[in-house]
Structure 1
Amino acid sequence: MSSQCPTLRAAILVVSTTAAKDPSTDAAQATLRSVFEQDGGNQWMVAETQIVSDDSAEIQRQITLWTEPVDAGKDVINLVVTTGGTGFAVADRTPEAVSPLLHKQAPGLVHGMLSASLAITPFAMMSRPVAGVRHNTVIITLPGSPKGAKENLQAVIKTLPHACLQAAGANSRTLHSGGVKKLEQEAGLGSQGQAQAQAHTHAHTHTHSHHHDHGHNCHRHTHSHGHSHGHNHGNLVRLTSENPKSNDPSLGPSRRHRSSPYPMLSVDDALSLIAKCIPSPTTTTAKVTPDLVGKVLAQDVYATAPVPAFRASIVDGYAVVVPPSGHLRGVYPVVSTSHATSSSNLSPLKEGQIARITTGAPLPPGANSVVMVEDTVLITTTKTTHQTTGQEIEEESSVEILSDDIVKPGANIREIGSDIPLNTLLLPSNTLLSPASIGLLSSIGTQSITIYSPPTISILSTGDEIVDPSLPRELSLGEVRDCNRPTLLSAISQLGFTPLDIGIVSDKTNHLETTLRKALRQSDIVLTTGGVSMGEFDLLKPTIERSLGGMIHFGRVNMKPGKPTTFATVPVKNNDGTKTEKVIFGLPGNPASALVTFYLFVLPALHQLAGITPVGLPKVPVVLGHDFPLDKSRPEYHRAVVTVSKDGRLLATSTGEQRSSKVGSMEGANALLCMPAGPEALKKGERVEALLVGELRSDLA
C-alpha cells in the first residue's frame, strides 16, 4: 500500500495539565513523531500538534476543530492520536471525552492495541483506549507514557493508512481489489509480521493528571494530582461528572432520561455563567455617520482641534475696540462687515471704528468686544452694489452706540476653544453613542473612530410540527405556525442588533447539526427555540454535546416560565479559517417562555458582546396594583403593565393568564415582575422589582 497511498496528515494531541503549563516536560510528542517517521512507511506527515489540560471540554474542543468537515480541495486531518488520560486516575478522562465525538466505533483497533500490550504485561488490561471515526478522520487514544504510547501506536500503524483512506471516502472496491493477502503485503503485515509486532509491543499506561474544578465555570478547570499504573495513588475524589449528560438519540426513546440530568440553577447563577463564557467584544474602525447611534465607543476620543477654532460673535451686532475707559456711547463709522461664512481677508479694526457682525462670524483683527444690535441706532446709509445680486442697495455707513454702561473686553465673544479646548477628552471609551455624540465628533472633524463590533445573532426554530407563518394554507392536525422566530427577529431588530433568519429546522440530528454549524460560522450567537425538553425528538442538547463537541453550561433554570432554557459554547472554525468559540442559547418552544428568556438571558449576552454597560434590562421598584398569585415552587417572571400613577408611583398590573404557551400574555406588557416562589399571593400595595421591556406609561385616568 505504501507505493500507492498518498501522504496522510496526522495530528497529535497531548493530554496533560503538567505539560500544558510547561511544554518542556512533554516527551510523548517527540516519541510519536519518531513512530510516524520510522514505522509509517513514508506515508505520514504530522501536520498539527497541541497540548491541552486533563479537561473534557478542552479535549473535545481541540478534536472537534481538527475533525470538522472541510471544503473540497482543503487538507483534511486523516488521523488524530491522543496521548494521556486513559488510565484509572480521577483526572483520566480522555476516553470519556473522545467517545461521544465518534460517529463510528473501531473496536478492532482497540483490540489490536490491547492484544499487543497483553502479550507483554497483564497490566495492559488497566488501559482504557477508544478508537473510531469522526466525519473523515480516524481517532485513537494512546497511553500517557512515551513508551506505552509508542508501542500502542506501533501495534496498529501499518493498518491505519487503509482505515484513513476509507474514512476519507476512498472507493472500497478499489482498495480491496486483490484480496486481504494483497492488503497485508502492501502494509508489510501478515501473520508473521503481526506476531512480530505483538512480540515487541507492551502496554505501559502512565498518566499524569492535573485537575482543578470551579463548578460551573466556563472552562471547567479541575485540580488534583494522580499517577496511574493500573491503580490509584492517594485518596482522590471525583469532582465532576463527565460530558455528555444528554440523551443518546441512537438508543431510542426507551433509553432516554426520565428526568433532566442537568442541575437546576438559579437565575443569578445562570446569568453569572453567561457573563463568564461570553467572549470579549471585538473592535472595528467605523466612519463617523448617523448610523453609529447605538454603537459603543471602544477608545477614548480627544479633541484634535479647538471649538470654536476662531474668536466668534455670539450675537448679531457690531465688533468694536473698547477704549481703556470702557465708554463707547457715540456715533461710529461702519468700516467692514463680518458674516458667518468662510473669510480670509478681514481688515483690522481700529479704535473709533466698528464692523457689522452676525452670530457665529469671526471677529476682525483688533476687535475685542461685540455690542448687540439692540443697543444701537442707524444714523446714515450709503448706496452700494450687492456683491451677490448686483442690485443697488442701501448700506450702513454710521451707527450710534446707545450704551451708557461700561463695555468690557470679551463681551459677547466666544473665545477659541471655549466650547471644546484642544486635546481635552471628548468622549470616553464605552460611551453609548447618541445623536449628540455624533454632533460632538463632527464638530472637531473626526472622520473615523474605534467601536465595539456589533454582534450578529442567528435565529432558528426547531420541530417537525412548525410551519412557516407565511404559507397561505390551513394547518394539518398537529401543525403549529411559527410565531417565535418572527417575534425574536423583531425584538432583536428593535434593540439595534442584526438578526439572521435561519428558518425552521426539522427534528433530525444531521439536519440540525448541519444547520447549527452554518449558523455558528456566520454569527456570534445562535438562538434556537424548541427541542430543549425531555422528549425523544428534543435533539438540541445531544447535538451540541455529541456532534458539535460543545459544552452545555446549564440545561435547566429555576424559573417560570423557561425552566428548560439551555446555554452552551461550541468550538468553531470560522469561514476565514480562524478558530474560536461561539455561543448557543436554546430557548423553550412555548412563545411566552421564549420571549421572557430572551430578555432575561440573551439580551445581557448581546450587550456584553457589544460593549454596552450595564447589561440587560433596567430594573425598577413597583407597587402591585392588585393581588398576585405566586407559584409554590419556582420564582416567576410575571408579564405586566407598569404605569406612572398621578401620585408618581410605578403601578403594576397583570396582563392576565400567564400560561407559557400563551403568546398574548406578552402583548401590551412593558415589564416582567420578579415574583418570588411562595404558598400565598402577594397583596395589592406590596412592592416588587420589575424588569422594564418597554417604555413606561402615564396613568391618565
Structure 2
Amino acid sequence: MSSPLRAAILVISDSAFVDPGSDKVGPALTEIFTSAQLQSKGWTFPKVDIVPDDVELIQDVIKNYTDNENDYYNLVVTSGGTGFAVKDVTPEAVAPILHRHAPGLVHGMLAASLQVTPFAMMSRPVAGVRNKSLILTLPGSPKGAKENLEAVISLLPHACIQAAGANSRELHAGGLKKLESEAGVSSTNSNATKKDSLSHDHHHHHHNHGGGHGGHQIPKAHTAPEDRPQSNDPNAGPTRRYRSSPYPMLSVDEALRIIAQETPEPTTTQVPVDSDLVGSVLAEDVYAGEAVPAYRASIVDGYAVIVPSSGSGTKGVFPVASVSHAQAASMPPPLNPGTIARITTGAPLPPNANAVVMVEDTILASTTPDGKEEATVEILTDNIKSGENIREPGSDVSRGSKILTRGDLISAVGGEIGLLVSTGTRTVKVFKKPTVGVLSTGDELVLHDDPRVLTGGQIRDSNRPSLISCLRSWGFETVDLGIARDTPAGELEKALRGAVRGLGSDKPPVDIIITTGGVSMGELDLLKPTIERTLGGTIHFGRVSMKPGKPTTFATVPYKPSTAAGGDTAQQEREKRLVFSLPGNPASALVTLNLFVLPSLHKMMGLASTSTAPSPLPTPTSVGLPIISASLTHPIPLDPKRTEYHRAIVTASRKDGRLYATSTGLAGVGQRSSRVGSLAKANALLVLRPGEDRIGEGQLVEALLMGGVVPE
C-alpha cells in the first residue's frame, strides 16, 4: 500500500468537550503519530475530534470516519470511557458497529499495561474492523492512552494495509521474519525487554492507579545502547575521550522539527484584563458581556429633538429643556414635544428624542436672565430625519457577540484591551507564558559589571545580559541563573536542578533553561555529560549544520513536581523541562536564541495552538521570526557546506519602497561567531544556503526579521 496511512483520534470526554483546551490526550497521541519513526512508516498528521460520553454521538463520528468508500481513515483510536464509571460507554458504543473483532490487539494492550499495574484489569478495551478501518479504544489518561497505543503501534500498518484490501499472500510472502523486520519488532527482543522491564520495575516506574487508565508508559528502547550517541564521560582520561562529536549533524529544518515535537503544549490560566495582559494569547473565544454603546447616544455636539412623524417641523425657535453630558451618571429627563435638549458627543439621548441636530445648524436665540445658559435656540433647517446623528444600542458591539477568538494575540497597541474593557470583560483565559532561566558556564567568565581588571584568559560574561534582555523584550519572565563553573564536582548539576525546582522567591522554577558554553568537545565541556549521565536527560541533537551555531544542543530533562495539585504526589505525572544549550560565542548564542528558542517559546505561549498541522519552520503565520525578502546591496560569499545565518541591517527605501539588506561584517573582517560587533544594529538574519560561489548584488535573499525595518 503506497498511499499514506490516515489516523483519526476521537477524545471522548464530557469535560474536554466543554473546554477543549483542557484536553491532554489529543496532543499526547498526536505526538506519537508525528514522531520521526512513525512519519517514516507513512502515517500522516492525525485528525483530532472531541465528543461527550454519548453512545449515539460516538457512533456517528466513527461512522463518518469509516463509511465513505473514497474518504476513510485507516485507523481510528478513541480515548476515554473504557472504565467502570456510570458514564463510561465507549465499549458499548464501539462494539456493536464493528464488522470484525480483533481480540489479539486487545490482549496486547492489556498485557503491556499489566506489566505496569494490576489496575489495568479495570479497563474494558475493544478493537476491530469496520469496513476498511481499524478501530481501537484506549484509556482516558494521557499516560494510559500512550502506553496502550505504543504497545501495538508497530504492528498497525500491517493490519491497516490488510483491512484496506491488500493481497495477504503477497504481504506474507517473505515469512514472519520479514514482517517482523518491516515492523521493527522481534520476538526475541520483545521477551528480553519484557523480562528486563519486570525485573527492574521498582527502579523505573511510578504507577498511576487511576481506575481503568493503565498507568504509565512502559519504557521501550528502540536502539541498542552501543548504537546510541552519548557524550564524553567526564571521568575518562584524554586518551578515552571522543575526537569528534558522536552526535549526527542535523539540518536546521530537522532540528526545528524536533524542537516543535518535544515542546509541551501550552497550559491555560485565568487572568484579569489590565496592562499586564499585553503579549498574551487567548486560550478561548471571548464574548461581549455588555453592548457598546449600552444606550442611544449622540454622535455630534448639538440638540436632541423630536422629529414629528410627518418628517418635518424641526425648523424654528425652541426652548432648551435640559442638558445631557457624556459623563452623566444617569439618564436625562424625558423630552416633551416642542422642546429640545443640549447634548454632547457620546451622551445618552433623553427619552422620546429621536434625532440630534448639529450645533452648526443652530443659532442662539436668547439666554437665561443671568446670561449664563441658553434659554431658546433657533434650528435653521427642516431637513432633520428621525434617527439622524444617533448611535443605536449595540451598534458597535452587540451583547453576546464574539469579540476576540482563541489564538488572538493581545497587542501593545491597546485595541484588544480597549475592546475587552469596553464590553465589561474583567478576566480572560490565556495560555500561560513559559518562564525562562539563563545560565552561563565556564571558568573563564567574569561578571559583566566586575570592576576588577581582567587577567589571564578571563572574559566578561556578555551572553547572559544580552540573552536576558532579548527574552524580556519578547515579553517572557526571565530568571538570571548566574554563572556555573566548569567543575566535575557538580556545580553545573546543582545549577540545573535548582533551575527547575526554584531557588527562592526571587528565582521561581523555570520551564525552559538556556545555557551558553560548554557544548563542544573539550574535557571541561560538561553540559552534555551532566544532562545525560547525571540528570537522566535526553540529548535530542548535539550538532546542527549551520553557521554560526554548529554545536547547538537541545535536550529534555525529566522533572517531578514536589507537590501534586490537590492530591497525592505518587500519582503526579512526571514532566519534562527543555534545555537549550547554545554555543559560548556571543554571535552564535544570539543567532541560535532567535532561530531555535523563540519558536519553542511561541508554541508554549499558544501562538501555534490553533494550527491544524505542525509548522516547525519560522514563518509569519506560525511561530518564530517572520520571513521577508530583501535585495542585497553587495555580494556575499557562500559557505560550501553549511547554511549561514548572516547578520544584516534591512532598510526600507523611501524612493522605490523596496527592502534592502546590508551585512554587518564587511570591510574584510567577516562574521566570525566570536564577533560581538556583528550583531550590533543588526535587525535581520539572512538565510544563505550552501553554495560554491556567492550571492550577487541586487539578488533577493530570505531574511528573518529580528527587529523593525530601518527607514533609509
TM-score by length of structure 2 reads 0.66
Match of 1:647 among 641, 650, 656: 656
Determine the structure 2 residue equivalent to 1:247: 232
Q: Helix, strand or coil for the counterpart of 2:543?
A: coil
Q: Is the 1:244–1:545 contact (alpha carbons within 8 Å) kept by the matching residues of 2?
A: no
The answer on whether the counterparts of 1:313 and 1:412 sit within 8 Å (CA) in structure 2 is: yes
Are the aligned partners of 1:54 and 1:92 in contact in 2 as well (CA < 8 Å)?
no
- Asked if 1:297 corresponds to 2:282, the answer is yes
- In 2: Cα distance, 1:305 partner to 1:366 partner: 23
1:287 pairs with 272, 295, 298, which one?
272
Give the secondary-structure state (helix, strand or coil) at the position aligned to 1:605. helix
1:532–1:540 CA contact under 8 A, matched in 2: yes
> Quick check: 1:26 aligned with 2:122?
no
Which of these residues, 665, 688, 691, is aligned with residue 701 of structure 2?
A: 688
Could you say if the C-alpha distance between residues 222 and 53 of structure 1 is closer, same or farther in structure 2, counting changes exceeding 3 Å? farther
Secondary structure at 1:469's aligned position in 2?
coil
Whether 2:520 is the aligned partner of 1:547: answer no
Q: Which residue of 1 aligns with 2:471?
A: 492
Q: Which residue of 2 aligns with 1:633?
A: 641
Does residue 373 (structure 1) correspond to residue 359 (structure 2)? The answer is yes
Cα displacement (A) at 1:561 = 0.3
Could you say which residue in structure 2 is the equivalent of 1:358? 344
Write out per-residue CA displacement over residues 325-353 of structure 1, whole angstroms, 9 at most, x where no aligned residue.
Answer: 32221111212221123344632223322
- State the Cα RMSD in Å: 3.1
Does 2:445 correspond to 1:472? Answer: no
Aligned equivalent of 2:577: 582
Do residues 421 (structure 1) and 398 (structure 2) align?
Answer: yes
Tell me what 2:25 maps to.
Answer: none
CA spacing shift, 1:527–1:402, aligned 2, 3 Å: same
Contact in 2 for aligned 1:18/1:53 (Cα 8 Å): no
Query: 2:288·2:424 contact (CA, 8 Å) conserved in 1?
Result: no
Amino acid at match of 2:348: P
Given the alignment of the two structures, is residue 260 of structure 1 paired with residue 245 of structure 2, yes or no? yes
Please tell me whether residue 556 in structure 1 is matched to residue 550 in structure 2: no
Which of residues 495, 501, 514 is equivalent to 2:494?
514
Aligned to 2:510: 523
The CA distance in 1 between the partners of 2:373 and 2:439, in whole Å, is 72
User: Structure 2 CA distance, aligned partners of 1:601 and 1:565?
Assistant: 9
Partner in structure 1 of residue 521 of structure 2: 534
Q: 2:384 aligns with which of 396, 407, 410?
A: 407
Write the distance in 1 (CA, Å) between the matches of 2:530 and 2:334: 80
Query: Which string of whole-angstrom CA distances, capped at 9 and with x for unpartnered residues, describes residues 150-179 of structure 1?
Result: xx99xxx9xx9xxxxxxxxxxxxxxxxxxx
Shift of 1:665: 0.6
Distance 1:424 1:25 in 2: 47
* SS class of match (1:394): coil
CA 1:93/1:542 → structure 2, altered by over 3 Å: closer, same or farther? farther
> How many Å apart are 1:298 and its aligned residue?
1.1
Q: Map residues 561-576 of structure 1 onto 2, 5 A cutoff.
A: 561-576=548-563
The Cα shift of 1:550 comes to 1.0
2:302 alignment counterpart:
317
CA separation of 1:279 and 1:25: change in aligned 2, threshold 3 A = closer
CA offset digits 1:652-685 (Å, max 9, x no partner): 1110120001111101111100001111111111
Aligned counterparts, 1:584-599, within 5 A: 584-599=579-594
Secondary structure (helix, strand or coil) at the match of 2:239 reads helix
- The match for 2:440 is 461
Distance 1:24 1:465, change over 3 A: closer
Please list the CA deviations of residues 29-51 of structure 1 after superposition, one character each: whole Å capped at 9, or x if unmatched: 679xxxxxxxxxxxxxxxxxx99
Gaps of 5+ in 2: 1-104, 120-142, 151-185, 204-217, 502-508, 565-571, 609-621
CA distance in 2, matches of 1:19, 1:270: 37
Note closer, same or farther for the CA distance 1:340–1:241 as it changes in structure 2 (3 Å cut).
Answer: farther
Contact 1:639 1:671 in 2 (8 A): yes
Find the aligned partners of 2:469 and 2:526 in 1 and give their Cα distance: 26
Kindly tell me the number of residue pairs found equivalent between the two proteins: 499
Following TM superposition, by how much is the alpha carbon of 1:508 offset from its aligned partner in structure 2, in angstroms? Answer: 2.1
Which position in structure 2 is the counterpart of 1:340? 326
> Residues 439 and 489 (structure 1 numbering): CA distance in 2 closer, same or farther, change over 3 Å?
same
Aligned match of 1:97: none
Whether contact under 8 Å (2:442, 2:517) holds in the other structure is yes
| Structure 2 counterpart SS, 1:22 | helix
Q: CA deviation at 1:698?
A: 1.5
Match of 1:277 among 259, 262, 265: 262
| Whole-angstrom CA distance in 2 between matches of 1:632 and 1:473 | 43
Counterparts in 2 of 1:384-399, with a 5 A limit? 393-399=371-377
Identify the residue that residue 92 of structure 2 maps to in structure 1.
Answer: none
Q: CA deviation at 1:617?
A: 0.5
Native 8 Å contact 2:229 2:247 kept in 1 = no
Retained in 1: the 8 A contact 2:467–2:590? Answer: yes
Contact 1:55 1:221 survives alignment (8 Å):
no
Match of 2:418 in 1: 439
Cα–Cα, structure 1 residues 640 and 28, in superposed 2: closer, same or farther, change >3 Å? closer
Letter in 2 for 1:676: R
Determine the C-alpha separation between the residues in 2 that align with 1:369 and 1:493: 52
Identity score, percent: 53
Confirm whether residue 662 of structure 1 aligns to residue 675 of structure 2. yes
The 3 A distance-change label for structure 1 pair 144 and 478 is closer
Conserved? CA contact 2:650–2:710, under 8 Å: yes
Q: What residue identity is the alignment partner of 1:398?
A: T
Answer whether contact 1:54 1:93 (CA < 8 A) is retained: no
Which AA in structure 1 matches 2:393? I
Deviation readout 1:51-85 (Å, 9 max, x if unpaired): 996999xxxxxxxxxxxxxxxxxxxxxxxxxxxxx
| Equivalence for 1:101 | none
After superposition, where does 1:230-245 map in structure 2 within 5 Å? Answer: 243=228, 245=230
Q: Tell whether the 8 Å contact from 1:55 to 1:93 is kept in structure 2 after alignment.
A: no
User: What amino acid does structure 1 have at the position aligned with 2:375?
Assistant: S
Deviations 1:477-525 (A, max 9, x none): 1212111111101111111111111111011241111111111231010
**One-letter identity of the residue aligned with 1:546:** R
What SS is found at the alignment partner of 1:249? coil
Stretch of structure 1 that moved more, 345-354 or 527-536 = 345-354
CA distance in 2, matches of 1:25, 1:684: 63
Q: Is the 8 A contact 1:338 1:357 kept in 2?
A: yes
Distance verdict in 2 for CA 1:273–1:143, change over 3 Å:
closer
Distance in 2 between residues matched to 1:519 and 1:370, nearest whole Å? 64
After superposition, the Cα gap between the structure-2 partners of 1:319 and 1:263, relative to the gap in structure 1 and judged at 3 Å, is same
Normalised by the size of structure 1, how large is the TM-score?
A: 0.67
Aligned to 1:207: none
Is the Cα–Cα contact under 8 Å of residues 440 and 517 in structure 2 kept in the other structure?
A: yes
Shift of 1:308: 0.5
For 2:660 and 2:644, the matched residues in 1 are separated by 18
